[in-house]
Structure 1
Amino acid sequence: MRARADQRAYVVLLSRLLLMLAMLIPLLISCSNGNSAQQEGQGETSGDGVFPSIPSIEEDPAYGKYDEPITVNIGFKIPDEKNASGETNDNNPVSRYFEKITNIKVVHTWEAKRDDSFLQKVNLAIDSGDLPDAMVVDRNQLRKLIENDMIADLTDVYREYGSSLIKAMYDSTKGIALQDASSGGKLYGLPNVAIDADAPSLLWIRQDWLEKLHLAPPRTFDDLARIAQAFAYGDPDGDGKRDTIGLPGDKKVVHGQDKAGLNGFDTLFSAYHAFPKNWIKDSDGKVVYGSITPENKEALTMLADWYKRGIIDNEFVLYREAQEPIVSHKAGMFFGPWWAPYWPLAEAVANDTKAEWRAYAAPVDGDGKFVTHMSPTTDRFLVVRKGFEHPEAVVKMLNAFTRLERRQDPNSGEVKKLDSFSAQTGVQLRSYYPFDLLLDYADAITQRYVNIQKALRSEIDYSSLDPDTKLIYEQSVAEMDNPKKNMDGWKAAKAYEYGGGVLYTTDMVQVRGIFYGTTKTMETKWAALQKQENDTFLKIIVGDQPISAFDDFVAEWKRSGGDIITGEVARIVNGK
């Protein structure tokens, strides 16, 4: 499952910004167990905020180099970036480095650019039975490969050859990642791991505007509405014009299972305990599609009222890009992820250095809890063709490029050369990894937040920080020494101080979806059902349809295949 096309541009831009900090924002607070619908708890770390100790390459046999060359034929997804001059997808400084340290030669059986093309290539390989030695598949393709006994059981291979680094990252998901890649107690794929913190949508507000208008920070719906109205009608920028807005929105209304979205109303729905575009279990333990529950009607009623009163920007449907009102200083509040200081706030603050943005976990529900839905912990799986002679070679390659990505590679001189190559060409090193499968600790953001705060208070030695955290610490110190003049420092400091800090300190109810795949009926019915849902929600909010249209939507959704799909999802979830 991938972000939609218009969100992909956001992720690409974010990645380029993060390259400057040599850190990864891969692709939902994962503190629940299995398929439980809800779990209550504070944003967590591993306890003391310190990443697990990783043995050196000499101490970890998972990195052992083959005595004789091994060839692995793969299906390769071509990155969006253009190759550096003189380099190719399968022969470049990164591929040559991996071959040097592993003695594994990677050969591209086929290549495909962009998600749709790659998806088609993988499906063709599965349907024809002509699989490369290894490739990355989605959740539905993994299930099909398992059902047709086409891929290797990696249980023992992973146990023996998986590095302590990737095992620690998988362990950070509390078993969810490996469970998603398993069937019948056997491990059939090596999953990616998404950062938990990417899922919650926080309320970002211009603190300088709050102070100018003598407003207290928000907590409840009423607080948010009062602030939005003041921003829309109270001249917070002091130019004597009515050119600012309240709360911006998005034509998609909610982002649902997707991540990296701006201006979605997910948090507002969640505060009503509505979770549109997510499959969940209701209070009776039954599988239900989150968009058709009664709580959605309550949320839509409130949103329609806010739109009518001007609390929600009445022109939000006209924006071509979600960030437009934010970077143009029309908006002083919006919903977005923890990394908003990297984008779009870096651009906004560069244009107006007086802007002081802060994040809040608001609004809360009737019990005073902040509620958030979760994105999938994993959505891609590295699989190995059944019968391939060296399945461990695939695991060793994952070990190698994960160690490089997480900046724990002991070959510092070689890595510096690779970083220099990336800086000179503008091509990210990960574009040349053999597989599009990135891992990090599920709780990486809150862990790094804790470590940075301890280092700033001299409670732990700065030199003991892991490489990613050390770099962020240095950027944060640079911002403290030279506020807002060092934009890299500003981005790192604000993302972790406010975004990571809010996630770490907030006691939140975290709701995890129970199904992220595709059923047989979905293949023919889902696109139309999604369009019907999006159109209905948007039209109700902007006043083109009455709130009673929600009831009509639910009835039509059920008749048009929704009930059949719900039954299919229930059978998959319940293992029948």
Structure 2
Amino acid sequence: MEKHRGKKTVALSTAAVMTLSILAACGSAANEPTPEAPAAGGDAAEARGKITVSIYDRGQIPKEEGTYTDNRWTRWINENGPVDVEFVPIPRNESQQKYSMLFASGEAPDLVLEYDNAFVNTLWAQKQLLPLDDLIAEHSTEYKKLLEKFPELKKLATKPDGKMYEVARIMKPEILGMMVIRKDWLDKLGLETPKTVEELYQVADAFANGDPDGNGTKDTFGINLSQFATYYVDAMFQNEMFILENGELIRQFDRIKPAYEFKRRLFENNIVDKDFLTDTNGQKAEQDFASGKLGIYLAYASVISKNYDTLKNSVPEAEIVAIPFPASEFGQFGPDFNPPFQLTGSVNANAKDPASVMKYIDFMVSEPTVQYFANGEEGVHYTKSANGCPQPIDRDKNKNEMGYTGDYRMFMPTYLLQTCAVNDRSLESENPIDQEWIAIAEEAKKLYLDPNRPHPGFTHAKFRPALDKDLNTIFNDGWNTMNEIMAKAVVSGSAYTVDQGVADVISAWDASGGKKLEEWYKNWYQENKDSWLFMEDLYQMEFE
């Protein structure tokens, strides 16, 4: 896309913190030998800079490890890094209050690390943050390379004034949702993998009513609709609130009816569990899948993986494969995924030595530092397997020493790390069930990160534009009201039809001020269509 320097609206990430992965190994004590660290850079006679950097205090560091401001990792950073770093503790559950006090008193750290982008946007609006464009151009090597490799990152970090204010963590995209099918049932009933939503209905019907397990009893379900599964069916019909159509960002209503008529047919013909609405956490669907009674399972990949062993142990002949979401009259789409970027760091506008802050950022994003924080010291915390994957020497020791380090790595490019496990299953596992699942998951990754079958939203949910309080209320109420009304239309028979439900959704939307939000989105898109990070951008990125 062509770079647009006009008016731009600030992006909003969800306030909830993304859960950081538990790592396999950790670092050395200060008096232990360390691996070769990245060069500190600069002239040998150049004075060593000193900066302050925030660090979340979660109250979880073991007593013997020290404190969040003084431990084996902070010492390693100061001994191997290019600048002296003083860490400023920020209570995790009161981070915004603490930051507000520090900025008000002029004592805010030079590098502000914070997950809540909405709060960071308020700091930008108050002119508390330093533009990074010139700082990176003049003083960076490592982070500059990341921007060159991932130009989409600059789009995401740029504010309405056309300048970049944040650094980000870069990860390999990870699929969340998945659709798997009992291939052994397909084969037994002489059916093909469904390619359209109508074929999906026919296969699910056969799974529910054709005795695929051969026990002579009607005790199987064709597909599930509980928990997130209903939203995955919505995705097949592009039933998102706002979509791109004919060059405009619009609030759509025409996808609601076909999506919910499909769900209603499943319900009325006993193809799904009649109690799916009460299975809010999906546990009943998990049990049905694990016990071999569910033919098509829509859920998070991690949930399916968790139950796969039980299925294989209880029904050894079960054969599971991942399949693409079937196509509807609106196109073909895919499930949700974790995005490759997360904005996490900003530089204080009053930082006394911004160049030293940039040196620190470069040091922390360099591959040797990323590897060391991920794995610790070879021979002390891990050994390398035949394919180069780190194997922990003492898991308890590593957990004790590394369990608190995630927030020091908030902007590290973890995509640099070798993939050594899938859904917590080691690629080198000798367990045949592990290897079966890894093959299923790898195929799913190919299917679901395909730009020809994108997630139906106009951008990732974490990159939607920020709305003011009133507009945000309209958005959230519109989403919740639609799902509540249409769920009623699925289960109420002739007493409440899908057409009635759609009419009530539109009426409730208009009454809540929805037209105002529609106009806002329409104008926002026209102003930002050449500069925002949209869904299609995320599918074009290369991480290898």
Q: TM-score, normalised by structure 2?
A: 0.72
* Other-structure match for 2:262: 302
* Other-structure match for 1:533: 482
* Other-structure match for 1:269: 234
**Gap change, CA 1:100 and 1:129, over 3 Å in 2:** closer
* Other-structure match for 1:315: 275
Cα drift, residue 188 of structure 1:
0.3
Aligned residues: 482
Cα drift, residue 189 of structure 1:
0.3
One-letter amino acid matched to 1:144 = T
One-letter amino acid matched to 2:486 = F
- Say which of 191, 203, 223 aligns to 2:168: 191
* Other-structure match for 2:79: 100
One-letter amino acid matched to 1:319 = D
* Other-structure match for 1:154: 132
* Other-structure match for 2:377: 413
In the aligned structure 2, how far is the partner of 1:159 from the partner of 1:430? Answer: 35
Query: Structure 2, unaligned stretches of length 5 or more?
Result: 1-11, 27-35, 383-391, 529-544
Determine if contact 1:248/1:334 at 8 Å carries over to the other structure: yes
Determine if contact 2:55/2:90 at 8 Å carries over to the other structure: yes
Identical amino acids, percent of aligned pairs:
18
* Other-structure match for 2:50: 70
Determine if contact 1:90/1:106 at 8 Å carries over to the other structure: yes
In the aligned structure 2, how far is the partner of 1:20 from the partner of 1:491? Answer: 21
One-letter amino acid matched to 1:111 = P
In the aligned structure 1, how far is the partner of 2:98 from the partner of 2:313? Answer: 43
* Other-structure match for 1:250: 226
Determine if contact 1:248/1:312 at 8 Å carries over to the other structure: yes
One-letter amino acid matched to 1:302 = F
One-letter amino acid matched to 1:468 = Q
1:135 and 2:113 aligned:
yes
For the pair shown, which has the larger CA radius of gyration, 1 or 2?
2
In the aligned structure 2, how far is the partner of 1:534 from the partner of 1:124? Answer: 41
One-letter amino acid matched to 1:502 = L
Cα drift, residue 549 of structure 1:
1.9
* Other-structure match for 2:410: 437
SS of alignment partner, residue 215 of structure 1: coil
- Say which of 208, 230, 238 aligns to 1:232: 208
* Other-structure match for 1:37: none
One-letter amino acid matched to 1:107 = F
In the aligned structure 1, how far is the partner of 2:45 from the partner of 2:190? Answer: 64
One-letter amino acid matched to 1:263 = A
One-letter amino acid matched to 1:417 = H
SS of alignment partner, residue 156 of structure 1: helix
The CA RMSD over aligned residues, in Å, is: 4.3
* Other-structure match for 1:494: 440
* Other-structure match for 1:546: 497
- Say which of 273, 283, 288 aligns to 2:250: 288
Q: Write out per-residue CA displacement over residues 152-208 of structure 1, whole angstroms, 9 at most, x where no aligned residue.
A: 1111333455554x55655565x3322121133321001234544436x44211223
One-letter amino acid matched to 1:145 = L
Question: Which one is further off, 155-164 or 93-102?
Answer: 155-164
Cα drift, residue 305 of structure 1:
2.0
Determine if contact 2:178/2:335 at 8 Å carries over to the other structure: no
One-letter amino acid matched to 2:236 = A
In the aligned structure 1, how far is the partner of 2:309 from the partner of 2:114? Answer: 34
* Other-structure match for 1:40: none
**Gap change, CA 1:230 and 1:520, over 3 Å in 2:** same
SS of alignment partner, residue 265 of structure 1: helix
Cα drift, residue 383 of structure 1:
0.9
**Gap change, CA 1:171 and 1:283, over 3 Å in 2:** same
Q: Write out per-residue CA displacement over residues 512-533 of structure 1, whole angstroms, 9 at most, x where no aligned residue.
A: 5253423231355555444323
**Gap change, CA 1:566 and 1:382, over 3 Å in 2:** farther
In the aligned structure 1, how far is the partner of 2:132 from the partner of 2:525? Answer: 23
Q: TM-score, normalised by structure 1?
A: 0.69
